[in-house]
């Protein structure tokens, strides 16, 4: 299943191929759970803004830093038998993978690869037992 964040959906040009995929509000945890239920493999697409790459280039993500100020698992530890969810190997990656700083509503362009709420979706997917998670950023200049 391919998922794009509503932040990316708003910025993609009309008729962009990613627009045919599931759209999600990454701040709505209940919607994330509903969309991901029963999935074995997901691809998550969010947006970034960087002059390091051309407009609309898709970048593979290998890790994230959560700077959103929220954690989608807060108050959900009782649903799992573990207190800590190890996400050190959360994403599938390739040689050119990047690390993104998940910023929340407003992208902080002082970071090399800022994104919005990619971390919310990916952490919830891991919590739900999805092991095959790939993440991508689309560069929107």
- Per residue of the chain (141 residues), what is the pLDDT tens digit? 999 999 999 999 999 999 999 999 999 989 999 999 999 999 999 999 999 999 999 999 999 999 986 665 554 445 545 455 555 677 887 888 999 999 999 999 999 999 999 999 998 999 888 999 999 999 999
Q: What is the pTM of this model?
A: 0.87
Domain-wise residue ranges, the chain: 2-136
Cβ neighbors of 83 (< 8 A, separation 6 or more) are: 77
**Would you state the pLDDT for residue 91?**
82
């Amino acid at each position: 299943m391919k998922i794009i964040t509503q932040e990316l959906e708003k910025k993609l040009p009309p008729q962009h191929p990613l627009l045919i995929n599931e759209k999600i509000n990454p701040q709505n945890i209940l919607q994330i759970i509903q969309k991901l239920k029963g999935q074995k493999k997901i691809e998550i697409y969010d947006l970034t803004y960087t002059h390091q790459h051309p407009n609309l280039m898709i970048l593979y993500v290998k890790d994230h830093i959560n700077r959103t100020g929220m954690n989608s698992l807060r108050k959900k530890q009782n649903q799992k038998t573990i207190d800590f969810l190890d996400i050190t190997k959360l994403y599938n990656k390739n040689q050119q993978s990047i690390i993104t700083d998940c910023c929340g509503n407003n992208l902080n362009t002082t970071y090399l690869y800022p994104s919005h709420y990619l971390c919310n979706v990916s952490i919830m997917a891991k919590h739900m037992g999805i092991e095959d998670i790939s993440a991508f950023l689309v560069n929107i200049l």
